[in-house]
Amino acid sequence: MASQPHSLSYVGCNFLRQRLVLSTLSGRPVKIRKIRAKEENPGLRDFEASFIRLIDKVTNGSRIEINQTGTTLYYQPGLLYGGVLEHDCSPHRSIGYYLESLLCLAPFMKHPLKIVLRGVTNDQVDPSVDVLKATALPLLKKFGIDGEGFELKITRRGMPPKGGGEVTFACPVRKVLQPIQSTDPGKIKRIRGTAYSVRVSPQIANRIVDSARSILNKFIPDIYIYTDHMKGTSSGKSPGFGLSLVAETTNGTFLGAELASNPQGQGTAVLPEELGLNCAKLLLEEIYRGGCVDSTNQSLVLLLMTLGQQDVSKVLLGPLSPYTIEFLRHLRSFFQIMFKIETKPSHEELQGGEKVLMTCVGIGFSNLSKTIK
Amino acid sequence: MEEKDRKKHRKKHSGPKADKKRKRHLNDLGLGDDEDARKRNPKAFAVQSAVRMARTFHRTQDLKTKKHHIPVVDRTPLEPPPVVVVVVGPPKVGKSTLIKCLIRNFTRQKLIEIRGPVTIVSGKRRRLTIIECGCDINTMIDLAKIADLVLMLIDASFGFEMETFEFLNICQVHGFPKIMGVLTHLDSFKNNKQLKKTKKRLKHRFWTEVYPGAKLFYLSGMVHGEYQKQEIHNLGRFISVMKFRPLTWQTSHPYVLADRMEDLTNPEDVRVNPKCDRKVSIYGYLRGAYLKNQSQIHMPGVGDFTVSDVSFLPDPCALPEQQKKRSLNEKDKLIYAPLSGVGGVVYDKDAVYIDLGGSHAHQDEEEEVRPNRELVQSLISTHSTIDVKMASSKVSLFMDSKPLGSEDVENQEFVMPKEEKQIDLKTGRVRRKAVFEEENDNGASGEEEGQDEEMSEDEMDGSEDGDGDDEGESDKEVPGQDLGLRSAKRVKREETTEEAGMELPAFADSDDDLEMSSGEEGETDLDESKEEVEDHGDEEESDEKESSDKQRENHNLDHRLGKKVVPTTDSGNCTAEEASDSEAEGSSLEEEEEEGLNDDSEAEESDRKGIQSAPEKNVDGVEWAESKVVEDEDGGDDIENLLKEEEEYGEENDLSADTAGALKWKEDLTQKAAEAFLRQHQSAPNLRKLVYGTVAEDADEEDDAHEELGGLFHVSRPDKESKQKANALDCSKFPVETPQDWDLDEVMNSIRDCFVTGKWEADKDAAKLLKEDEELYGDFEDLETGAVHKGKPAGSEGEEEDKEGKEPKAEEEKNKRMDKKRKLKAMFDAEYDEGDATYFDDLKEEMQKQAQLNRAEFEDQDDESRVQYEGFRPGMYVRIEIENIPCEFVLNFDPHYPIILGGLGNSEGNVGYVQLRLKKHRWYKKILKTRDPIIFSLGWRRFQTIPMYYIEDHNGRHRLLKYSPQHMHCGATFWGPITPQGTGFLAIQSVSGTTPDFRIAATGVVLDLDKSITVVKKLKLTGFPFKIYKNTSFIKGMFNSPLEVAKFEGAAIRTVSGIRGQIKKALRKPEGAFRATFEDKLLMSDIVFMRTWYPVSIPAFYNPVTSLLKPAGEKDTWTGMKTTGQLRHELGIRLKQNKDSLYKPIVREKKHFNKLHIPKALQKALPFKNKPKNHEKKAKPTKDQWRPAVIREPHEKKISALLTALGTVHSYKIKKAKLNHRQHLKDYLKRKHKEEEEKFKRQKEAKKKLFRIMGQKEKKRQKSSLKGSREREK
């Protein structure tokens, strides 16, 4: 009999998504122990269970075993299947939480994925759908994942705590990915953004825009922030507002930042002006960090580089986020891939902080699910 | 007769004479000497039809694009691995002879017996690994997958054999390597004509199989049992210039053709359980793609394994250094074939072997055990403790020498081996047989070897090849050391490490000694090492002493090495994993000590050289050695010694560090400076360390394994959970910890240049570029006005500079000029060249660029760090450790069978359902049956599985087939290893034994991989009506319960007679009965059925063919699961046939139809046409109507006979007359026709004459009229 590939074992619920995603892509089973074992409320949370259910939906033949208390999870991956699906995400985390993993998996399905996700579209914890749409999608396009069937549509907005948003994500399948060489982020040529407000006064969006512009105008004149006021059924179940900003460079790099209001009934009320200012500053921070990929998508780009052909891929990043660092470690244990990490100290020129140049040779991954005729 | 024999004259078509003739001919035609018709007569070649022109253009374009292949990135490494040349052919065709001849041709060496692959250097840039492929189909399959070039030997006197065709078909499936045919046994043809014919016939057949024009070589005859030198030379030339195209499977998977195998199992384990799983290291060139550590591999014939460790070794058969000469030096013509017993000195990770014997030394025969190998042998196979073993183990330093035991080293005496001359009865050669005292006491006196080249097989085992030995000797001779065994290179490295780390390596060595030698020796060694440590303390005071000490140390070292031969010190080839391990351990175990060491060594370094080179590395090396020591669990009591010593050592070390600090305070300064420098330099590694370094190993189970070492050490690692917050929030956002105040100007300025409004880099700044362009194009002369416009002189400021700055300035200017030129050239190119660059060209260029980048990216790094990033690259000579290998692999090792390690991609180690497109081979005589086990060769693997054949219906349904179709593709699904789509496969019924028939049963390609299947088979449920109303009937017997009926409500049903209907609802009373409606009334005799589709389950049977585990000589007898047919045949069980399935003669009853009865009323209503015509029966003819027969009288008879005769005569006459008349008429018509023709001719002549006269007249008239007109003009 074929020897089962030795499984990997981890402790704790952190980086659950990474582990499951990488396990699915590499075909190695994973075992996660001691999930919140010492907490008052042990085991997997709702949103994690929902995530596992989502993984189960998009794959075929995966085996998931969870013990009685939910503190141990064994996942033996199947093959990615895809197709037309629907999923109700837990309102504890936003859709971004689920979408980030789907972005990693979607290009390698058997059938093109077309999924409707329902839940919270924007919250304060996870990258919102707006930002992912503006930054992650162009990133995937660089790897050759492109075409008509590649879109992320926000049909309804839902704010925490009740959610009620709806997002459609469709992605074509690819057999192989192209290697990328993006070492020059280019210069920021324009800033775009969306100020959204649901179930509050439509004026709030305008107030956000004004305050954000007041800061950004000092750097560049080409700014346009759309105001998006959703009404009726498309406005979800809870009130809220927020702003997402994206800076686009001459070389097609997208850097995003966002901020959302406090959920209803939690924390103090946030002034729209303040939110606009803070969000603009966050964008400036992101620009200071720089790189060809913004901090939320670092792990995505590294994954896609790893899954490329056996060619050298290079990307310039800002400082590595803790999430990315852990992701790199996971990449090594799942794919035996190590990145060459070179720090590029910032020059005398005024271009923000230190950059990191990541280089790797792809593992020559090919989509094993896709059918040939 | 003579005329016929004479040769015909042939015209000359070329040469000066022919040219002259042609020219004359052209002149005669009045065409001048313009030979090109196109130039001579341009009109004839003008565009006649635009449409046709367009068509021809399209056609040429089509043909052009047809030739294109999708461009792929060229991933061949700079130093490619040896080309695998597989020599195939049926038995007794001359494979081994050819290999021997080729080796002799390339290396001038003669091998007696060839086992396993032989690697040779064939040219400045090419190496070859030649391997023979036996006729076992397993071997053929395995080797076809890794072959770059196939030499296909064909016995011309016999013709093609099945093996040849089978191999060709295997090749076709697994990617087609280059194939070259070689015809042998051509000398058996006496008749030249027949020879020619045979050659031609074989060539054409070969061409149809491979491709038209494939190279076929002829080896005409043998000279002294070898092929003719010139022919072999030519063949070699062909091989060494051949180009190969990359094959998909090979370029996407790493693989190793093993040329050496070692068993590393703990002998204690083997002693306890001889059948325990083994740990094995395998050596060979890595080919194909990058190999990662810890990755999955498959060994065809053995199974799937995980690589437990990979390391790269120096190339044993390296390409020569770059040289200008065209041909190779004799010295560079290396040969490496450890399995055949050729190879010279071999460096391992943990040992140096000077042996020539292969790793097949583990075969149980006692006489096979060579004295050279005895040390290793004894370590492996004896069942006693290591101390005893070390004491008793022996090694011989030079070939033919008596092996050294530990006691011999003390006396330093050599006992030369006795040699025995034997005269070979067959060849009359003088052969020398090395006889050792243990074996044979009657040995003759020692004698140096002369011509080892001609040693027989058994001698080869005992001693090494002459050439290899020469090389070895030159390496071995360490100055001043008669016992030195290591290569010069190795010693040099040792020295350098000692320079850097001073006392450390010695310490490591002494450990090993301790561990390996008996207690007595251990003590002496301990003393020695102590001495050394003291020595180092002294060293710091005077340099002279230092050097002498060093020398002495070398002596010591080498001395000890001489004794042991198998030093287990660092080999410099520690793998990435180990390095990180050692780092990690170092940090956790003895950080303080390490620091002390570090400081110390740094101090010394800076003092001695003034340059800080790489203290880090040294420390790593030391730590590695230490960790190695720690890891060694063999001798429990030794470890205690070790531990003690370590402590002592530590103390010594501290002491020395202290003294150093006290004595040379100045050192601190340089050291600090160096440290600062280092810190600056190490910012990158720091980040690396942050990501990869300080983290404990990835998998927890590995941690567990390291938790306790030898039951003594407990590895304490920094608590992982505390660091990473195992249960923290899982979020990819990177929150800003210390937000900057973006209102401040300085802060805002820090990102100014990130925007387009900020400052641009010099090479992109629009303003600057414009200016440069102005400089470029500044100079021009206005032709109309004659005015000369001058651009700003580029270096005008430079000229004003003073003279010191002139030279660099000039340089700069030169660069600038070059830049300008380059730019201009690029512009020119862009304007003129790029214009017609097609999409294909662009794509190709892109690939080229990528290939360049791939090569350049890690070029400047040393192999060790490179290996970490890319994995082990193809072309490296690697050593792969694999654990848990079945013991049969080692016990039944046969070097004649190739060992291949095929790397598996991600999830290729998993199993699932695989869908194939399959076609039975047209030469296979049977058809294949669903659920019959069959052996597939797919990817690297050979395995037995149970396929199900299906065909796809028009609506996409996969319908199960009982048998594969004869001449058509069908689908097949089986449970087995997941292999990428598009991979070819072949199927064979059995790999054992030989059959005269063609063995390949089917071929095809993988289409899809899944974890579930969709194959269905037809299931008809039948029922019978038990109550019939008009169109409604009650049906029973189809289901068993109302629930079942409920599931099928609304389903379509049908009777056999074709009446369609639908299931309505279950009935209460008979269980499972239901009400159904039909389009017509049923009969009670009708059978109702429903067609359903039932999903088929596929048996999860996957059984790898473990042919390599079979005992030697039985490796081609692997049998797996048998088919039911086979079992039945073997056990003599006849199949019980269903009586209903038997064919019987069909007896059809005569059918009686009742008369058609039409009611009277209806008859009346019918139109006349359709009315039954009931004619009254005619009455019998009456007497008057009835005529009686006439009976003649004799007279009357006579009269009538006469009349008949007369009539006959008359009719004959008339007939004759008619014929005559017809003939006459025919003749007459002929004559008339002739006359007519003549008449016509005459008339024509006359007419012609007349017209000519008329024409002349007309001409004259015209002439005269012209004249007249001219005259008129005048």
Contact A304, A369 (CB under 8 A): no
Show the tokens assigned to B1258: 């007309």
For all residues of chain A together, what is the average pLDDT? 91
Q: Which residues of chain B have pLDDT under 50?
A: 1-2, 347, 355-667, 680-682, 694-723, 791-804
Question: H-helix or E-strand containing B139?
Answer: helix B137-146
Residue B689: the pLDDT is: 81
Identify all chain A residues contacting B1011, using CB atoms and an 8 Å cutoff. 60-62, 78-79
Cβ of A361 and B289 within 8 Å?
no
Q: Which residues of chain A have pLDDT under 70?
A: 1-5, 346-350
Q: How far is B734 from chain A (nearest CA, A)?
A: 6
Contact A128, A242 (CB under 8 A): yes
Q: Identify which of B695, B909, B981 has the shortest CB distance to residue A5.
A: B909
Q: Identify which of B684, B759, B857 has the shortest CB distance to residue A343.
A: B684
Q: Looking at chain B from residue 110 to 169, which residues have their Cβ under 8 Å from any Cβ of chain A?
A: none
Chain B interface includes A47 (CB < 8 A): no
Q: How far is B750 from chain A (nearest CA, A)?
A: 5
CA–CA gap between residue B1005 and residue B982 (Å, rounded): 6
CA–CA gap between residue B1169 and residue B757 (Å, rounded): 103
Residue B807: the pLDDT is: 61
Cβ of A336 and B871 within 8 Å?
yes
Question: H-helix or E-strand containing B987?
Answer: strand B984-988
Q: How far is B743 from chain A (nearest CA, A)?
A: 9
Q: Looking at chain A from residue 129 to 148, which residues have their Cβ under 8 Å from any Cβ of chain B?
A: none
Q: Looking at chain A from residue 297 to 316, which residues have their Cβ under 8 Å from any Cβ of chain B?
A: 298-299, 309-312, 314
Question: H-helix or E-strand containing B617?
Answer: helix B615-631
Cα end-to-end span (Å), chain A: 29
Chain A interface includes B871 (CB < 8 A): yes
Cβ of B907 and A372 within 8 Å?
no
Identify all chain A residues contacting B729, using CB atoms and an 8 Å cutoff. 14, 125
pLDDT in tens, B872-882: 999 999 999 99
Residue B213: the pLDDT is: 87
Q: How far is B1129 from chain A (nearest CA, A)?
A: 28
Identify all chain A residues contacting B684, using CB atoms and an 8 Å cutoff. 341-343
Q: Looking at chain A from residue 210 to 229, which residues have their Cβ under 8 Å from any Cβ of chain B?
A: 215, 218-221
pLDDT in tens, B511-529: 333 344 333 443 444 444 4
Q: How far is B762 from chain A (nearest CA, A)?
A: 11
Q: Identify which of A281, A325, A352 has the shortest CB distance to residue B754.
A: A352
Cα pseudo-dihedral B754, B758, B763, B769, rounded to 10: 150
Contact B629, B511 (CB under 8 A): yes
CB proximity list for A284: less than 8 A, separation 6 or greater: A215, A219, B742, B748, B751
B137-146 and B162-173 helices, crossing angle to 10°: 40
Cα end-to-end span (Å), chain B: 77
Identify all chain B residues contacting A287, using CB atoms and an 8 Å cutoff. 751, 754
CA–CA gap between residue A46 and residue B1051 (Å, rounded): 42
Cβ of A351 and B751 within 8 Å?
yes
**Strand boundaries in B191-318, DSSP class E:** 216-218, 222-223, 226-227, 255-263, 278-287, 296-299, 303-313
Chain A interface includes B870 (CB < 8 A): yes
Cβ of B731 and A5 within 8 Å?
no
Q: Which of A59, A204, A23 is nearest to B699 (CA)?
A: A23
Chain B interface includes A42 (CB < 8 A): no
Q: What is the ipTM of this complex?
A: 0.92
CB proximity list for B908: less than 8 A, separation 6 or greater: A27, B296, B939, B977, B978, B979, B980
Q: How far is A10 from chain B (nearest CA, A)?
A: 7
CA–CA gap between residue B308 and residue A121 (Å, rounded): 46
For residue A136, the 8-state DSSP code is I
Substitution target from A36, A93, A338 for chain B, most B beta carbons within 10 A: A338
Beta-carbon pairs below 8 A across chains A and B: 269
pLDDT in tens, A309-360: 989 999 999 999 999 999 999 999 999 899 999 888 766 566 778 889 999 9
Q: What is the pTM of this model?
A: 0.69
Q: Which of B849, B825, B813, B942 is nearest to B304 (CA)?
A: B942
Chain A interface includes B762 (CB < 8 A): no
CA-nearest residue to B977 within chain A is: A2
Cβ of A371 and B290 within 8 Å?
no
% of chain A surpassing 90 pLDDT: 79
Burial degree of B47 (CB within 10 A; 0-12, 13-18, 19+):
exposed
Q: Looking at chain A from residue 150 to 179, which residues have their Cβ under 8 Å from any Cβ of chain B?
A: 179
Contact B222, B229 (CB under 8 A): no
Q: In what order do the strands lie in the sheet with A355-361?
A: A181-182, A312-317, A355-361, A340-344
Identify all chain A residues contacting B869, using CB atoms and an 8 Å cutoff. 338-340, 359-361
Instruction: Write the DSSP assignment of B936-981 as a string of letters.
Output: EEETTEEEEE--EEEEE-TTS-EEEESB--SSSEEEEEEEEE---T
Residue B187: the pLDDT is: 87
* Encoded amino acid at B169, one letter: N
Chain A interface includes B1091 (CB < 8 A): no
